[in-house]
Chain A
Amino acid sequence: MNPFTWASARVQTRFRSWWHARLPRTDTQLLTHRNVFILPTRAGCLFASTLLVLLVASINYQLNLGYALTFVLAGSGLVSMQLTHDTLRGLTLHLRPVGPVHAGEAALLDVVLTSPDAARWGVGLRVHAASAATLSWTDVPAGGQATAQVSFAPKQRGRHDIPALTVESRFPLGLFRAWTVWRPAAQVLVYPRLESPSAPLPPTSAASDGPMASRHSSGTEFEGIRAYRRGDPLKMVVWKKAASAMETEGKLVSRDSSASAHQQLWLDWQSCGDLSAEERLSRLAAWVLAVDRSGADYGLRIPGVELTRGQGEAQRRASLEALALWT
């Protein structure tokens, strides 16, 4: 990269970040002529030069209808500028709450566009930093609502601001591009990246609290079978039935023990071997999901945080959030 482009790119980045920082963060944005911008597109410039050539031809050949053609196109072009701007102006953008995602996965942003008056055509949304090819197009009916989805994939765990979104339109003639940059106020919680392939669950440790431990040790009486769930220890699989199940394209079957429903397990920072902190968090997140699927009780121990045993939705959320926000 030559120094000039490097410098100009840098200035551009600085300018953009300064400008974006000025934009207030809000989850519901009304587009007015204060925040909708408009500039001619490359096609618009091409159109202007076409008009110039048509005009020169009309002058040189003294064609009055040539003048009429040139001016009717110029008039339509100028009107289209207003129409393009009107496509965005007056729209209300609203971001629906964004659910948590794992790092590396796409977070879907549901944006509701509301038009108080006329119908809007060809409104495109994208994450500001993404390429123009990722635009997701939608039409907004008159006096109604439409939903557009855009996605972005956060790379790091933690609580992230939603990136700035661009809403743009070139309707009707594509000679002008009207756009707005919108910084939603909402944040998205990003869980650690899931380890893949996931490591086997740690052995059920003899926990310090007596009654549960004793129940755990007696929990080897099998009370039946059930469908295999991801995370079941290999020794729980009923291998005798596996062969016939595979032939008929059936599923694997695991032994079910009364204990497995109450089996409790500590997902411990220490049991992850000698991995880096992020890798440990990834592994723990994968384990949390695996244990949650099996329906067992589990607790989480990471430096500075200890979640007591529990199960279900609430436990999973709490665990993953703890992993996401661990510092």
Chain B
Amino acid sequence: MDLTRAALPLPWRGWVRLPREARDTLFLLAVIGWTVLPHLSHLPLWCSMLTGSILVWRAWLALSNAALPSRWWLVAVLLLACGLTLWSHRTLVGRESGVTLVVVLMALKTLELRARRDAFVVFFLGFFLVLTQFFYSQSLLVAFAMLVSVWGLLTALVLAHMPVGQPALRQAAWLSARSALWGTPLMVLLFVLFPRIGPLWGVQQDRLGKTGLSSTMRMGSMAELAADESVAMRVRFLGTAPPPEALYFRGPVLAQFDGREWTPLPPSLVTSLQPLADLRTSGPSIAYEMTLEPQRIPLLPLLEAAPAAPEIDGYRVRVTEDLQWYTDQLVFERLRFTARAHLTFQHGPLRAVPGLQHYLELPFGANPRTLAWARAMRRQSRYAQADVQELAALVLQRISQGGYTYSLTPGVYGEDGGLDAVDEFWLDRKIGFCEHYAAAFVVVMRAFGVPARVVTGYQGADTARVEGYTIVRQSHAHAWAEYWRSGSGWLRTDPTAAVAPDRILRSRNLQPEPGLMASALGEFSPALLQRFRTSWEALNNRWNQWVLNYSQGQQFDLMKSIGFTSPSWHDLALLLIAVFCALSVTGAAWAWWEQRRQDPWIRQFAQARRALRTLGLSAQSHDPPRVLAERVRARFGEHGASLAELFYTMEQQHYGRKALNRPPASLTRALRLQARYLQVEAR
């Protein structure tokens, strides 16, 4: 029985008993698999399948100790992969297609592990693959997974350089961890001091499907955003924090409506014919520090209303007439800056001016029933001459009392491509979320003849603060409205508050279904889930603040704190070089010292021999202490007895049962003293 079992192929005989070659290959394949795994979500399906099957096949080859396929075969698969990449991504040079190709190349190279050079190619491709992971995410989890990958790759590299016998994996893992750990101080030094400069050349930014504010608004697009719990920004107020309902972070202002989509006014109109912003603030300002995640558009969602542009290194910020804060280039890094805001403010022209008519335009022929409804309302005697504010109150009242419901999943309006989505919402189904209410409000106000526009951005924040930071998530994305009133300018109103006050007061959205794990934990102990989530947020926050957000600004702050008055990146480079030189010199000095270091006993013995030579005795380096003792006795007789005794002690201390690591200096002194005594005696 046992014989047949032993003769079976290997997999069920245990990892330890695998032959060295097979075990190492399997380990490397596992590391590669782990590195590729996070990529699966954005790789084309064919690439995942191809890579997976190649890795499995290679594992099988290793287990059955079969021959590797011929090179022609590999070239054929590579060509096929290039063709498929071209088909999937339409190009071979972009970032996405590059990642796809690297994954395939990596898998194919495992089928070609013939020489040491091939192994190195796999390792280096592996490091590339780890880097490409950071294109998609730099979160704590990804960082941890990639740390494991790097460790695995280094372990495989160490294994490849232990040619004798079958070294344990654990040992190789420890050895590689040791070199990485010893390299950590160097890594930290480089990370802190290496000058963060801008991109060396323009890189094509692929759309990676990140959520964020958009410069257009379609019915339904905000629902996707609302389901996204990722962090949009972290705000730390340098004073008392305003309540969540006062937090309106102003994003794109959308004034042009074609029946389906809201867009900003065309640029030509913005510059030439826009009514001036004319911001009039009152009351005290609030200072805050904002850490903003990268946005899809070159715009800073600042807290309303910002009196001046924040200072951000490397970017110029300008304000438009409708109070949008634009950066001169797209922001791909996390930005941290301080800004101010006045919560009570007015803006816009006080009197009717040319340019306001753009905020009255409605698409021709769209939403006829809503327009008819508005005309009918206007014809009522009590509204015929009503003030703009009364009209707004009328609309809000209808929203709160007209049977409207707030829902994140209202379904699609204007499905058949029609222009009457607002009709459908306002008069028929009456179910929707912020953007439906904002859009309908603006359409109705315009129908009343009141200039109005949609403002998008973020509203509210998490009620729990994390280490002083107020967290604003993508799910806090919001749309509200502004209408113009003569004598006051633009007035903000939030139609959603009329139907769902909770959304505004406590920033409580309708929560999408939580994941399985979270819901189980939530049912078991909601408090625990909350605590877990809070500390996880805190950890993430630190990670963002200290690692991901570390940029030139922080470097310069650091330089200033150590005494540079106006640091530049040249200073940083010089500082880095200086530190490296200092470290090298220290290293060289240490090596020199270590070279000179001598066993203390040998040094003592050399001193003792020198002392004997002053007495005219021969003392060679190969004479043991015992022989020297005999010589002392022979020459000086009883006079030399105590000196000879010292030599015996010396021998005892080095070779005896109770040998000392470090001989006592008193013995050296005694030896010298005795030698001098004998010298005097001899005279």
Binding site for B on A (CB under 8 A): 32-33, 42-43, 46-47, 50, 53-54, 56-69, 71-80, 83, 121-122, 124, 137-139, 170-174
- Enumerate chain A residues within 8 angstroms of B182, measured Cβ to Cβ: 75, 79
Give the interface centre of B117, B135, B164, B197 by most chain A CB atoms within 10 Å: B164
Point out the residue from B179, B183, B194, B548 that lies within 8 Å of A65, measured CB to CB.
B548
| B167 & A75 in contact (Cβ 8 Å cutoff) | no
Indicate whether B146 reaches chain A with its CB closer than 8 angstroms: yes
Known A139-B164, A174-B116; judge A63-B194 contact (CB<8 A).
no
Total number of B residues with any Cβ neighbor in A under 8 Å: 54
- Enumerate chain A residues within 8 angstroms of B199, measured Cβ to Cβ: 59-62
| A74 & B190 in contact (Cβ 8 Å cutoff) | yes
Residue interface bits B105-136, CB-to-A below 8 A is 1, else 0: 00000000000110010001001101100110
Question: When chains A and B are docked, how far (Å) is the Cα of A42 from the Cα of B119?
Answer: 13
Question: When chains A and B are docked, how far (Å) is the Cα of A53 from the Cα of B200?
Answer: 12
| B194 & A71 in contact (Cβ 8 Å cutoff) | yes
| B183 & A75 in contact (Cβ 8 Å cutoff) | yes
Q: Which of B118-161 contact A (CB under 8 A)?
A: 120, 124, 127-128, 130-131, 134-135, 138, 142-143, 146, 150, 154, 157-158, 160-161
Question: When chains A and B are docked, how far (Å) is the Cα of A173 from the Cα of B183?
Answer: 13
Indicate whether B497 reaches chain A with its CB closer than 8 angstroms: no
Question: When chains A and B are docked, how far (Å) is the Cα of A71 from the Cα of B187?
Answer: 5
- Main secondary structure, interface of A, reads helix
Known A56-B200, A63-B138, A173-B179; judge A75-B595 contact (CB<8 A).
no
Closest-CB distance, A116 to chain B (whole angstroms) = 11
| A63 & B191 in contact (Cβ 8 Å cutoff) | no
For the complex with contacts A60-B201, A124-B163, 15 further pairs of A-B residues with Cβ separation under 8 Å are A46-B120, A66-B134, A67-B194, A68-B191, A69-B130, A74-B183, A75-B180, A75-B183, A79-B180, A79-B186, A122-B164, A172-B157, A172-B161, A173-B158, A174-B157
Binding site for A on B (CB under 8 A): 116-117, 120, 124, 127-128, 130-131, 134-135, 138, 142-143, 146, 150, 154, 157-158, 160-165, 167, 175-176, 179-180, 182-187, 190-191, 194, 196-201, 203, 332-333, 547-551, 591, 595
| A78 & B183 in contact (Cβ 8 Å cutoff) | yes
| Closest B residue to A47 using CB positions | B124
| B162 & A76 in contact (Cβ 8 Å cutoff) | no
| A76 & B127 in contact (Cβ 8 Å cutoff) | no
Known A65-B143, A174-B116; judge A83-B162 contact (CB<8 A).
no
Closest-CB distance, B588 to chain A (whole angstroms) = 10
- Enumerate chain B residues within 8 angstroms of A174, measured Cβ to Cβ: 116, 120, 157, 160-161
7 CB contacts below 8 A, A to B, read: A54-B128, A66-B131, A68-B143, A69-B134, A72-B150, A74-B186, A172-B175
Question: When chains A and B are docked, how far (Å) is the Cα of A67 from the Cα of B154?
Answer: 18
Point out the residue from A68, A72, A137 that lies within 8 Å of B163, measured CB to CB.
A137
| B179 & A76 in contact (Cβ 8 Å cutoff) | yes
| A65 & B167 in contact (Cβ 8 Å cutoff) | no
- Enumerate chain B residues within 8 angstroms of A171, measured Cβ to Cβ: 158, 161-162
- Enumerate chain B residues within 8 angstroms of A46, measured Cβ to Cβ: 120, 124
| B187 & A63 in contact (Cβ 8 Å cutoff) | no
Known A33-B595, A69-B127, A173-B158; judge A64-B183 contact (CB<8 A).
no
Known A43-B117, A47-B124, A78-B186; judge A71-B161 contact (CB<8 A).
no
Question: When chains A and B are docked, how far (Å) is the Cα of A124 from the Cα of B164?
Answer: 10
